[in-house]
C-alpha cells in the first residue's frame, strides 16, 4: 500500500547523511575492493587528486601514501589548507578553492565534494594542515566532528596529511588490492613528470611521461612495429605505436591527470585525427578499422573547467578547451595533423611499417568479412530462440546510474545457468550459458571467433567485435564448477579473452566467481565456507554434529541460496596481469608445448583436499 504523500514526506538531509544514503552519486559503486573502480579506491583517488593539484600548481614535489590493513594516510608537501578553513574544506559541501580558476587552473577536483565524501564514508577521518610553522588538526567519525585540536606550533614541512578508514558499515568486508593502487599511482607518475610518489616505501617516478607508460605497456603486449611516436605540445601529450601481438585497440586516456576510463570527446578526437592524418599522408581512403587495429595509444589533455559525465570523472563531456574557447576536437586535430605528418615524412621506416600493418589488417579483414557476415546472420537467427543469453536491463554502455553494476555471468550447463538465472538481479545481472567445454583457441587466428558458434555468440553478447568502448557489461564473470572440469573450462575461457581481447582483461573487466565449497549448519545458524580453513572454523563454532554439505557443482546450489553468493556479498577474484607479465608468455606457459615446465609447476602447486583438486595460479 502506498504511503500518504504529505509535508512530512519532504526531508532535508545534512551533507553527511546524503552522502551516506546515496554514495553512488559521489563515488560510483561501492564494491569490496575486487574491482579497480570500487569505492575504496575512489576515496584514495579523491584525496590524492587534491595533492596532485598542488603539484601541478608548482607546490610540493612529493606525495607519500601508506596503507596498513584498512587505514590509509596521504601526506603532501603543498601549500596546506589555510588554517581557518580546514573544517570547511572537509565538512562543508560546495566549499573549496577549486572554484577559483586562478588558484587552481586545469584542476582535477572541481566540485568541492571529494574530501567531504571521504570524510562522510569513513569510520575515522583525520586531517592535519601544516602551514607557516603551525598545524591545525581535526578528527571525524562518519562525518561527525570527534576532535577539534587547537592550532599548535609545528616544525614539519608545510602541506596536508589525511588519514582515513573506509567505513565497513558502507563498504562491507572490503580489502585493498595492491595491484590497483599500484596502477593508480603509476598513472599519476606518468602524467606528472618528476613527481615522486611513495607508497609503503616503494617509489614511483616517471621522467618521460606517456612514453614511459607505453613502453611499460608494450613490454606486456608484444613487440611494437616501430618506435613509439611521442608528441608533447601545449596542453596535449600523446604517444602511440602498433603492436604485432595485439588484436583490437588499446587506449589510455586522461584529462587533467584523471584517468578517463570511458574516454570522451578528447579520445574520440584523437582517434579521428590519427585516421584522417594517415589517410592524407598516404593519399588512400583506408578503412578506419584497418588503420587503428593493433594500435596502443595514450593521450593526456589539460582543459580549463572540464565537464565530466559524473562525479567519478570517467568520461569527458567538454566540447571546448576552455569556456567559449577553441573546441577540443579542433585543438587535438591541429596538433596531431602537424606533428604526425612531420614525423612520417622524417621517418620513412616507421611510415612504411605503418603502411604494411594497414595492408596486413586490410587483408585479414577481407578474409574474415565473409565469415563475419555469416556469423552475424547466425547470431540473428540464434537470437530469435537463443537460450544462451538471459540479458539484463541496465548495460555498461548506457548512461544509467547503476551501469557499473552491470554483470555478465558466463557459466556451463543448464542446471548451473538455471540456478544463477533464477537468483540474479534482472536489472543488472545477465547470464550466458556455454554448451560444454569451449574450444582451445591458443595460437588460432581471429577467424575462430566468428567460425565457432560459442565464441561468436559470446562476443556478440559482450558487443566487443568492433570496439571495447561498446562493451555491454562492466563485470564479465566466469562462473564454473569448483572441480577439474570447471577449472578446465575456466582456463579455456581465460585463453579466449587473453588471445583475442587482452585489453578487456587489462582494463579490469574480467573476474572469477567464488562460490562456497561447503555449507555447515545447525538449527540455529548456517555458515558457507569458501576454503578448508573456513570449514574447520565453522565446525569448531557449530560443533561436530553440525550438518556438512559439499557443493560439487553450481547446479547443486538452489536459487534461494545462490542469492547469497551473487548479491551484495558476492566474492569476485579479479583476473590480473602482473606488471612484468607478457600475455604471450602467459599463454605460452599455460597453453603452449612446454609440458615438462608446466608439469613441474602443477606438481609444485598441487593441493588435494576433500576430493577437490585446487591448483594455485601464480
Task: Clarify whether residues 295 and 353 are in a common domain.
Answer: yes
Examine residue 102 and state whether it is found in any structural domain, yes or no.
yes
Task: Clarify whether residues 27 and 151 are in a common domain.
Answer: yes
Examine residue 520 and state whether it is found in any structural domain, yes or no.
no
Domain boundary among 204, 229, 259: 204
Examine residue 476 and state whether it is found in any structural domain, yes or no.
yes
CATH number of the domain where residue 295 is located: 3.30.230.10
| 614 — pLDDT class (breaks 50, 70, 90) | very low
Q: pLDDT digit string (tens) for 349-405?
A: 999 999 999 998 888 888 777 776 666 666 555 554 456 889 999 998 887 878 888
Q: Please classify residue 593 by burial: count the beta carbons closer than 10 Å to its beta carbon, then call 0-12 exposed, 13-18 middle and 19+ buried.
A: exposed
Task: Clarify whether residues 308 and 260 are in a common domain.
Answer: yes
- Among 13, 6, 263, which Cα is nearest to 120's? 13
Examine residue 248 and state whether it is found in any structural domain, yes or no.
yes
Mean per-residue pLDDT, 342-348: 95
Examine residue 375 and state whether it is found in any structural domain, yes or no.
no
Task: Clarify whether residues 431 and 579 are in a common domain.
Answer: yes
CA 77 to chain centre: 29
Q: How many domains does the chain have?
A: 3
| Residue 612 confidence (pLDDT) | 39
| Residue 477 confidence (pLDDT) | 95
- Among 355, 328, 341, which Cα is nearest to 274's? 341
Task: Clarify whether residues 402 and 259 are in a common domain.
Answer: no
State what percent of residues in the chain have pLDDT above 90.
42
**CA-CA distance, 551 to 380, in Å (whole number)?**
37
Which grid cell is 329? 576536437
- Residue 5's contacts (CB-CB under 8 Å, 6 or more residues apart) are none
Q: Is 258 helix (H, G, I), strand (E, B) or coil?
A: strand
CATH number of the domain where residue 508 is located: 3.40.50.670
* Other Cβ atoms closer than 10 A to 529: 21
Tell me how many degrees the CA angle 191-469-208 measures, rounded to the nearest 5.
20
Task: Clarify whether residues 402 and 424 are in a common domain.
Answer: yes
The two beta strands, 236-242 and 295-301, are antiparallel
| Residue 111 confidence (pLDDT) | 42
Mean pLDDT of the chain: 84
Examine residue 534 and state whether it is found in any structural domain, yes or no.
no
Crossing angle of the two packed helices 583-591 and 484-500, in degrees rounded to 10: 150
Examine residue 546 and state whether it is found in any structural domain, yes or no.
no
DSSP sequence for 88-104: HHHHSTT-SSTT-TTTS
Examine residue 528 and state whether it is found in any structural domain, yes or no.
no
Q: pLDDT digit string (tens) for 73-110?
A: 999 999 999 999 999 989 887 655 544 445 445 555 54
Question: Domain residues for 128?
Answer: 15-204
| 618 — pLDDT class (breaks 50, 70, 90) | very low
Domain boundary among 138, 172, 204: 204
- The DSSP output letter for 2 is P
**CA-CA distance, 411 to 360, in Å (whole number)?**
36
- Residue 469's contacts (CB-CB under 8 Å, 6 or more residues apart) are 262, 263, 397
DSSP sequence for 62-122: EEEEEEETTEEEEEE-S----GGGHHHHHHSTT-SSTT-TTTSTT-S--SS-HHHHHHHTE
- The DSSP output letter for 161 is E
Residue with cell 616505501: 201
Which grid cell is 141? 567519525
Task: Clarify whether residues 176 and 68 are in a common domain.
Answer: yes
Task: Clarify whether residues 421 and 492 are in a common domain.
Answer: yes
Q: pLDDT digit string (tens) for 499-537?
A: 888 888 888 899 999 888 888 999 889 998 888 888 999
CB 40 within 8 A of CB 23: no
Q: Please classify residue 179 by burial: count the beta carbons closer than 10 Å to its beta carbon, then call 0-12 exposed, 13-18 middle and 19+ buried.
A: middle
Q: pLDDT digit string (tens) for 165-199?
A: 999 999 988 999 998 999 999 999 999 988 999 99
Task: Clarify whether residues 189 and 251 are in a common domain.
Answer: no
* Other Cβ atoms closer than 10 A to 512: 18
Task: Clarify whether residues 315 and 431 are in a common domain.
Answer: no
Question: Across the strands, what pairs with 255?
Answer: 258, 301
Task: Clarify whether residues 74 and 105 are in a common domain.
Answer: yes
**Length of the chain (residues):** 618
CATH number of the domain where residue 196 is located: 3.30.565.10
Task: Clarify whether residues 356 and 428 are in a common domain.
Answer: no
Dihedrals phi, psi of 71, to nearest 5 degrees: -95, 125
Out of 384-393, 406-415, 551-560, least confident range: 384-393
Domain boundary among 204, 230, 259: 204
**Kind and range of the H or E run holding 290:** helix 288-292
Amino acid at each position: 500500500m502506498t504511503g500518504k504523500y504529505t509535508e512530512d514526506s519532504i526531508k532535508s538531509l545534512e551533507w553527511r547523511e546524503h552522502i551516506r544514503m546515496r554514495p553512488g552519486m559521489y563515488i560510483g559503486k561501492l564494491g569490496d575492493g575486487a574491482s579497480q573502480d570500487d569505492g575504496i579506491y575512489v576515496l584514495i583517488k579523491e584525496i590524492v587528486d587534491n595533492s596532485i593539484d598542488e603539484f601541478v600548481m608548482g607546490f610540493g614535489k612529493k606525495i607519500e601514501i601508506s596503507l596498513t590493513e584498512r587505514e590509509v594516510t596521504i601526506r603532501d608537501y603543498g601549500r596546506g589548507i589555510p588554517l581557518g578553513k580546514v573544517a570547511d574544506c572537509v565538512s562543508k559541501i560546495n566549499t573549496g578553492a577549486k572554484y577559483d580558476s586562478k588558484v587552481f587552473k586545469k584542476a582535477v577536483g572541481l566540485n568541492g565534494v571529494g574530501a567531504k565524501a571521504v570524510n562522510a564514508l569513513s569510520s575515522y577521518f583525520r586531517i592535519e594542515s601544516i602551514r607557516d610553522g603551525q598545524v591545525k588538526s581535526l578528527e571525524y567519525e562518519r562525518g561527525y566532528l570527534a576532535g577539534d585540536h587547537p592550532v599548535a606550533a609545528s616544525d614539519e614541512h608545510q602541506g596536508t596529511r589525511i588519514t582515513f578508514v573506509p567505513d565497513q558499515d558502507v563498504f562491507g568486508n572490503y580489502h585493498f588490492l595492491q595491484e590497483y593502487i599500484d596502477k593508480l599511482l603509476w598513472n599519476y607518475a606518468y602524467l606528472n613528470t618528476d613527481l615522486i610518489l611513495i607508497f609503503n616505501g616503494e617509489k614511483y617516478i616517471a621522467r618521460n611521461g606517456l612514453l614511459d607508460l607505453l613502453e611499460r605497456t608494450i613490454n606486456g603486449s608484444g613487440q611494437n612495429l616501430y618506435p613509439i611516436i611521442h608528441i608533447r605540445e601545449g596542453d596535449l601529450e600523446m604517444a602511440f605505436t602498433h603492436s604485432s601481438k595485439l588484436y583490437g585497440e588499446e587506449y589510455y586516456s586522461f584529462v587533467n591527470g584523471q584517468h578517463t576510463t570511458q574516454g570522451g570527446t578528447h579520445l574520440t578526437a584523437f582517434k579521428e585525427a590519427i585516421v584522417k592524418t594517415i589517410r592524407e599522408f598516404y593519399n588512400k581512403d583506408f578503412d578506419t578499422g584497418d588503420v587503428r587495429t593493433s594500435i596502443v595509444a595514450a593521450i593526456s589533455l589539460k582543459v580549463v573547467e572540464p565537464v565530466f559525465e559524473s562525479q567519478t570523472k570517467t568520461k569527458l563531456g567538454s566540447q571546448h578547451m576552455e569556456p567559449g574557447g577553441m573546441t577540443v576536437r579542433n585543438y587535438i586535430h591541429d596538433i596531431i595533423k602537424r606533428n604526425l605528418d612531420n614525423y612520417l615524412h622524417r621517418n620513412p621506416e616507421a611510415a612504411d611499417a605503418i603502411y604494411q600493418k594497414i595492408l596486413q589488417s586490410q587483408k585479414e579483414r577481407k578474409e574474415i568479412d565473409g565469415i563475419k557476415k555469416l556469423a552475424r546472420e547466425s547470431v540473428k537467427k540464434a537470437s530469435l530462440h537463443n537460450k544462451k543469453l538471459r540479458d539484463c536491463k541496465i548495460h555498461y554502455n548506457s548512461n544509467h546510474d547503476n551501469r557499473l553494476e552491470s554483470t555478465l555471468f558466463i557459466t556451463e550447463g543448464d542446471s548451473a545457468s538455471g540456478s544463477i538465472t533464477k537468483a540474479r538481479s534482472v536489472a543488472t545481472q545477465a547470464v550466458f550459458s556455454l554448451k560444454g567445454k569451449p574450444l582451445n583457441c591458443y595460437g588460432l587466428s581471429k577467424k575462430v571467433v566468428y567460425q565457432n558458434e560459442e565464441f561468436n555468440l559470446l562476443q556478440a553478447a559482450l558487443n566487443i567485435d568492433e570496439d571495447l568502448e561498446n562493451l555491454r557489461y562492466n563485470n564479465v564473470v566466469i562462473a564454473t564448477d569448483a572441480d577439474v572440469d570447471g577449472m578446465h573450462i575456466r582456463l579455456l575461457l581465460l585463453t579466449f579473452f587473453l588471445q583475442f581481447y587482452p585489453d578487456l582483461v587489462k582494463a579490469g573487466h574480467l573476474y572469477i566467481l567464488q562460490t562456497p565449497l561447503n555449507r555447515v549448519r545447525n538449527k540455529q545458524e548456517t555458515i558457507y565456507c569458501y576454503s578448508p580453513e573456513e570449514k574447520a572454523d565453522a565446525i569448531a563454532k557449530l560443533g561436530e554434529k553440525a550438518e556438512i554439505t559439499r557443493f560439487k557443482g553450481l547446479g547443486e546450489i538452489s536459487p534461494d541460496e545462490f542469492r547469497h553468493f551473487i548479491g551484495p556479498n558476492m566474492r569476485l577474484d579479479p583476473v590480473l596481469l602482473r606488471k612484468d607479465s607478457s600475455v604471450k608468455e602467459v599463454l605460452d606457459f599455460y597453453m603452449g608445448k612446454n609440458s615438462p615446465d608446466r608439469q613441474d609447476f602443477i606438481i609444485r602447486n598441487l593441493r588435494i583436499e576433500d576430493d577437490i583438486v585446487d591448483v594455485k595460479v601464480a
